[in-house]
Amino acid sequence: MVQATLRFGRIGRFLTALVIWFHPVATVQAEDDYLSILEAEAADTAVETDFVSSPVGGNQVNNRFMGTTADKVIVPGLSFEDFETELSTRYSGSHSLYVKLSEKKRREVFAHYQSDNRISSVREEIVRLLSSG
Amino acid sequence: MKQPLVKLFKVIALVTAGFLVNSNATAINVKLTDYLAYIDVDHGGEQVRVQRIQDVEHKLDDGFAKTSRKCPPFCIQPMKVAPGVTTIGEAEIFRFMDRELASGTGLIIDARTSSWYQKGTIPGSINIPFTNFTASEEAPETIKALETTGAVRRGETSWLIRSFEKLMAKFGLFGADKKTDKWDFSNAKKLVLWCNGPWCGQSPRAIKGLLEHGYPAEKIAYYRGGMQMWKVLGLTVVIPENTEAVVMKSR
């Protein structure tokens, strides 16, 4: 009986240590998963912009209020390095997923950008490559 | 002689103002509230009018018309996100825009990741993704995010002073309850945090992160309706021209 209690105690301590040891890793992993799902959902969520309001004074030419998110583009003609910098400084959410890709897949994203530089399209490509394993 | 003239001018001014308010109000059939037709707010240095879509036939036909998303992670959030934090609705946001935001004593924080923010934000909001509040205390993005709110980073504080502060904090004296080992929140702004709506966990995470860093709960409000309710009510949305968030995630 005493031996069983001691054995349980040791196992219990071992398991507790294991949980404490892996807790931060598990938390970071969970947050990364959450961010990936958020990004995928954002990419899937179309937003209506027909009724976007105007600034006071009704200056309708200001594209800040009239632009559509679908038309947002990454500056064309960037080198691979500049493309990565642009992604990290302007599109932090997409970049957080992009950095998880292998070098080969990053090059694929870059090739995709060269043919279609809309951020929505580049983001979809990142999510696709990420989920393809 | 001078005083009656001043009085007369005041009356004329009031009557004129009344007409102006009235003429504006009659032009808007779908008002914000029964007492407010619209409100102008500063958004990145530009005045933006917050009002509702005037077409009474208009219906949502985009991603925010979607009823169901997988839970977890898109689970329905409780009304009370944390003890001491107030949950507010749209009318309270308008009042906050008119008072705290206009006077510079408050901030409206869009706590969503940048990709959501780019799809449109509530006028007057700044984008600080929730990850900036949930990162470690020493992370540069956390420091920058907290400094944006008006919190001041403290230098080395002696054990004696901290002990005294902790004691005073128990009695709510000398503002000691607004200080932690690393931060002084005495002059921190009042915050309204929001995300995509009742099914969104981003602003609740941001709020929990803020509280863990010691941000006073009474200075935080949670707009649970978020973008979902904002859009359902046909309220003005700003498509950010500059998609860069105020605080970038550095990871």
CA quadruple B203, B207, B213, B219: dihedral positive or negative?
positive
Question: Mean pLDDT across chain A, nearest whole number?
Answer: 72
The crossing angle, in degrees rounded to 10, of helices A103-115 and A80-90 is 90
Q: Are the C-beta atoms of residues B82 and B218 closer than 8 Å to each other?
A: no
Can you give chain A as a three-state secondary structure string? CHHHHHHHHHHHHHHHHHHHHHHHHHHHHHHHHHHHHHHHHHHHCCCCCCCCCCECCCCCCCHHHHCCHHHCECCCCCCHHHHHHHHHHHCHHHHHHHCCCCHHHHHHHHHHHHHCCEHHHHHHHHHHHHHCC
Q: Indicate yes or no: pTM above 0.80.
A: no
Q: What is the pLDDT of residues A12-45, one digit of tens each?
A: 676 666 666 655 556 667 777 899 899 888 888 8
Q: Is the pLDDT of residue A102 over 90?
A: yes
The token pair that represents A90 in the structure block: 């302007």
Mean pLDDT of A88-96: 81
ipTM here: 0.74
Closest chain B C-alpha to A40 CA, distance in angstroms:
10
Q: Which of A36, A38, A61 to mutate to test the interface with B (most CBs of B within 10 A)?
A: A38
B37, B1, B5: which is closest to B21 by C-alpha?
B37
Query: Is B202 in contact with A91 (Cβ distance < 8 A)?
Result: no
**C-beta separation of B93 from B223 below 8 A:** yes
B contact test, residue of A27, A33, A36, A51 with most B CBs within 10 A: A51
A10 vs B200, residue with greater confidence: B200
CB B108 within 8 A of CB B97: yes
Of B60, B118, B202, the CB nearest to A69: B118
Joined tokens for residue B250: 């550095």
Q: What is the pLDDT of residue B225?
A: 98
Q: Which CATH superfamily, name and number, covers B31-151+188-232?
A: Rhodanese-like domain (3.40.250.10)
Supply the pLDDT for residue A60: 36
Is there a contact between A35 and B113 if contact means CB atoms under 8 Å apart? yes
- The domain ranges of chain A are 1-45, 62-133
- Bridge partner list, B41: B48
How many alpha carbons lie under 13 Å from residue B220 in its C-beta half-sphere? 29
**Backbone torsion region of residue A57, taken as left when φ is above 0, otherwise alpha when ψ lies between -120 and 50, otherwise beta:** left
- The per-residue pLDDT for range A41-72, each reduced to its tens digit, is 888 887 765 444 445 544 333 334 433 333 45
The minimum CA-CA distance between A57 and chain B, rounded to whole Å, is 9
Give the number of other Cβ atoms within 10 Å of residue B86's Cβ: 16
Strand partners, B238: B121
Alpha-carbon gap, residue A88 to A126, rounded angstroms: 14
Structure confidence at residue A61 (pLDDT): 33
Q: What angle do CA B45, B47, B133 make, to 5 degrees?
A: 55
Residue A72 is predicted with a pLDDT of 59
Give the C-alpha separation, A47 to A64, whole Å.
Answer: 15
Query: Which residues in chain B show pLDDT less than 50?
Result: 1, 5-26, 243-251
Q: What is the C-alpha to C-alpha distance for residues A96 and A35, in angstroms, rounded to an integer?
A: 8
Q: What is the pLDDT, as a whole number, of residue B16?
A: 41
Which residues in B lie closer than 8 A to residue A66 (C-beta atoms)?
A: 239
